[in-house]
Amino acid sequence: MRKKKKTEILKESFGALKNDPFYFDSIKSYFKNKSNGESFHILSDKTCNDLDFEELFMFLDRTNSKVGQQYLYNKLRNIPAQSEALEFKEHLIQKLLQDERFRLNTQLQLDALNKTEAYYIASLFQGEYEQAPRWFFIVRLLSFTSLLSLLMIPFNAKMFFVFFGAFIVNIVFHYWNKRNLYKYLGSIPQLLKLNNIAAKLFKEEEFKPIDPDLKSSIQVLKQVRNRMSFFRLEANLQSEFEAVFWGILELIKIAFLLEPLLLFGILKRLDTKRKEIESVYCFVGEIDALISIASLRKGSNIYCIPSINKSEIRAEKVYHPLIPNCISNTIKVNEKSILLTGSNMSGKTSFIRTIGLNVICGLTLNTCFAEAMTFPRLRIYSAIRINDDLINDRSYYFEEVLTIKEMIDNASSGKANLFLLDEIFKGTNTVERISAGKAVLSALSKNKNFVFVSTHDIELTDLLTDEYELYHFSEVVNENKVDFDYKLKPGKLKNRNAIRILEINEYPGDVIDEAIAISKELDQLTLNKQYS
């Protein structure tokens, strides 16, 4: 694609969602193989599933390269211990937003790493290298024999038979090595591109503070560039138009066993350069992630840079970015946690997810989907989407018990936590659900933790008034339809519309009448207990 056309595409797509397919097995690979021991908190697979993390990532990702995409995914899964160089990064984001020429030049460089093979670069500093077998000295001996016999043919014609015999044996070793070679035909040529792009980007004064010592890593990789260029040649010579040249080259490589000799020589060198490769990878990944944040902000009508404090969560007109025309809400959480009531589909769970994903984006991307947002540095745990584990013979309730047990274990860790729960213990009977729910929610809200929980159990609202602020979502039931306004309201839900909704949906009259009668009896029993 011509540079001019590509530039126009980049201009038009800045601020827009990607149309590319997302290969999450490859996108996740860098994160899965990285230790991330320095992080404040790593989002679990469970929390990611609860918050629809993959859908969120597809919305947030505006990167230009596969390296940047992997780096951004890892960034979002890791809550940093502190906002390092935040002022500098904000300066860069603003530069990328305002200086179109600077941004486009950078994007054009990064676009060279947008092929699928670029996903494999991370394996060169995270994975294990193929090791030469113990008998590899035979390969060296055969290569030397071929070279020596070829040189001796002008002096002794019979040496041709030695050369030919060695050639036949070499075929076996050559094609044995193809399996090893193919593992690196994607990653090593892409590493060459990565290093060249990093060298060009490092010349920009604005990018140097990202890694002031990067020049030494670039130079180290340049030292093995000539040998690695062999892989670029091998990767490119695959079209039928170059078949003749490829065939001649293949015969030469067989004759002197060049492929196994070069391959294991390069792998041995690269195995000692893991730190340098990762430094170059992270430098390019960070730049692409900053461009992605700039594009995200460009495409967002309302966003804010959050304020990190130690005592409260405050969100003004916060909204869920994945919900079209999402209704925004405002809330302040200080000494008490939040207990939400409301009917199904009224917005309780979506609001809980809204808080969770905005805290994640705020702590990792320094960007929230709200007019203003403040919160502490939090670890995030959730129990929203729980299913039976049939493979391990675990029921819904047992899975929920294990999930909430992890929350309780972390509640007294000394670090602030954000606990997100939907319909706690709904897999058990009413009496035990309310009793266990009250005890657990009281425990989770201690030690300056923040809890957002929804429930249908109105009894919990009376039991937890000292520890939780009560809010609710409600609906308006008309003659033949139900309308939701998705607005957060203070206090607990007082009206009940479940039976009325059954009636609107034309349940049989005798079912409705019986439901109403039983409801009145249960209400009377509750009143009698209260005044007895």
pLDDT tens profile 206-248? 999 999 999 999 998 888 776 666 665 555 555 555 667 777 8
* Predicted pLDDT at 527: 54
Q: Are 461 and 430 in contact (CB under 8 A)?
A: no
Q: Which residue in 31, 115, 106 sits closest to 284, CA to CA? A: 106
* Predicted pLDDT at 239: 54
Q: Which of 60-64, 166-170, 434-438, 504-508 shows the lowest mean pLDDT across its residues?
A: 504-508
Q: For residue 20, what are the contacts with CB-CB under 8 A and spacing of at least 6?
A: none
Q: Stretch 313-341: mean pLDDT, rounded? A: 94
**Average pLDDT for the chain:** 87
Task: Return d(Cα 516, Cα 399) in angstroms, integer.
Answer: 35
* Predicted pLDDT at 393: 45
pLDDT band, residue 86 (cuts 50/70/90): confident
Task: Indicate if the pLDDT at residue 394 is higher than 70.
Answer: no
pLDDT band, residue 444 (cuts 50/70/90): very high
> Which of residues 183 and 85 earns the better pLDDT score?
183
Ordered alpha helix ranges (H), 257-383: 258-271, 274-298, 348-365
Amino acid in the structure at residue 339: L
* Predicted pLDDT at 77: 96
Q: How far is the CA of 425 from the CAs of 44, 391, 402, in angstroms?
A: 21, 21, 11
CA 484 to chain centre: 32
Q: Are 331 and 400 in contact (CB under 8 A)?
A: no
Q: Exposed, middle or buried by CB within 10 Å (0-12, 13-18, 19+), for 526?
A: exposed
Terminal CA-CA length for the chain: 82
Q: Stretch 177-195: mean pLDDT, rounded? A: 85
* Predicted pLDDT at 189: 87
Sign, CA dihedral 52-21-207-106, equals negative
Residue 387 has φ and ψ, to the nearest 5°, of -130, 160
- Which single residue is written with the structure tokens 């009206």? 495
Task: Indicate if the pLDDT at residue 401 is higher than 60.
Answer: yes
Q: Stretch 315-341: mean pLDDT, rounded? A: 94
pLDDT band, residue 388 (cuts 50/70/90): very low
Would you say how long the chain is, in residues? 532
Q: Which of 62-76, 133-147, 309-323 shows the lowest mean pLDDT across its residues?
A: 133-147
Most confident of the ranges 118-132, 339-353, 367-381: 367-381
Residue 280 corresponds to which tokens in the numbers above? 């170059």
* Predicted pLDDT at 519: 72
Strands 475-477 and 468-472: unpaired
* Predicted pLDDT at 390: 46
Q: Which of 91-95, 111-115, 145-149 shows the lowest mean pLDDT across its residues?
A: 145-149
Residue 201 corresponds to which tokens in the numbers above? 């980007």
**Spans of all domains in the chain:** 3-130+183-224+273-298, 307-495
User: For residue 489, what are the β-bridge partners?
Assistant: 472
* Predicted pLDDT at 428: 75
Task: Indicate if the pLDDT at residue 395 is higher than 70.
Answer: no
Q: For residue 193, what are the contacts with CB-CB under 8 A and spacing of at least 6?
A: 112, 113, 118
Amino acid in the structure at residue 137: F
Task: Return d(Cα 248, Cα 23) in angstroms, integer.
Answer: 37
> Which of residues 183 and 330 earns the better pLDDT score?
330
* Predicted pLDDT at 391: 46
Task: Indicate if the pLDDT at residue 532 is higher than 60.
Answer: no
On whether the pTM is more than 0.85, the answer is yes
Task: Return d(Cα 387, Cα 359) in angstroms, integer.
Answer: 25
Q: Which residue in 61, 57, 54, 21 sits closest to 296, CA to CA? A: 61
Residue 488 corresponds to which tokens in the numbers above? 């957060």
Q: Stretch 418-440: mean pLDDT, rounded? A: 87
Task: Indicate if the pLDDT at residue 409 is higher than 70.
Answer: yes
Q: Which of 175-184, 466-475, 521-530 shows the lowest mean pLDDT across its residues?
A: 521-530
pLDDT band, residue 458 (cuts 50/70/90): confident
Q: Stretch 471-475: mean pLDDT, rounded? A: 87
Q: Which residue in 372, 291, 295, 355 sits closest to 321, CA to CA? A: 355
Q: Stretch 194-200: mean pLDDT, rounded? A: 95
pLDDT tens profile 288-317? 999 999 999 999 989 999 999 888 999 999
CATH among 1.10.1420.10, 3.30.465.10, 1.10.3720.10, 2.40.10.120 for 3-130+183-224+273-298: 1.10.1420.10
* Predicted pLDDT at 72: 98
pLDDT band, residue 251 (cuts 50/70/90): confident
Q: Stretch 368-379: mean pLDDT, rounded? A: 96
pLDDT tens profile 141-178? 988 998 998 899 998 888 888 889 988 998 888 888 88
Task: Return d(Cα 262, Cα 132) in angstroms, integer.
Answer: 11
Q: Are 225 and 306 in contact (CB under 8 A)?
A: no
- CATH class of segment(s) 307-495: alpha beta
Detail the DSSP E strand segments found in 30-119. 41-42, 78-79
Task: Indicate if the pLDDT at residue 531 is higher than 50.
Answer: no
The Cβ-side half-sphere exposure at 181, using a 13 Å CA radius, reads 21
Sign, CA dihedral 476-481-485-490, equals positive
